[in-house]
Amino acid sequence: ERITGMNYSKAIVEGIATQIYKATGYPVYINNQEQNMMFPSFFVEMEHGEHTQKLGNRYYREANFYINFSQSENGEVQDYSQVEDVAERLTWALEFIGVNGDKLNGVDMSWKMVDDVMQFKVKYRYFLGKVETKEPMEKLIQEQGVKGNGRQ
């Protein structure tokens, strides 16, 4: 367990994007408002997340992510064998991702074609620790002395 920052989901998306790019060499977009997108490419987004307090400041999370793969700007599939190859590569590339020095295991992977876009789904389960920051003391005065001038 590692104590982490509060935006761990964003770090997971970045870990997913890194693994996808390493496995395929295709551009990976995270922000839906990207301009001048190149194709073929991927788009990564979190579909669903759950957050449950376990013990004290420990929390259990599950997060499902969609990875959409488009071969062309107009959405037409140009090569189904490429789509199958990409799905196969993603299953191995997303089995483990690096996130803030941790390794997360991807589970419950599946993929399907929706309107000529391959939708790949993966789930990550992990624990987080909440760091509580305390206000530092304003002033600390410490007096120290030796009892009886150091003699007994």
Q: What is the pLDDT of residues 29-70, one digit of tens each?
A: 997 666 788 999 999 999 988 888 988 889 999 999 999 999
Of 109, 10, 31, 28, nearest to 70 by C-alpha is: 28
Q: Do residues 82 and 98 make contact, with C-beta atoms less than 8 angstroms apart?
A: no
pLDDT tens track of the chain, all 152 residues? Answer: 444 445 888 899 999 999 999 999 999 999 766 678 899 999 999 998 888 898 888 999 999 999 999 998 887 888 999 999 999 999 999 999 999 888 999 999 999 999 889 999 999 999 888 776 666 656 656 666 566 665 55
Preceding omega of 40 cis (within 30 degrees of 0): yes
Secondary element (H or E) of residue 61: strand 58-70
| Distance (Å, whole) CA 15 – CA 4 | 15
Q: Do residues 99 and 2 make contact, with C-beta atoms less than 8 angstroms apart?
A: no
| Distance (Å, whole) CA 74 – CA 6 | 37
Torsion of CA 101, 107, 112, 116, to 10 degrees: 0
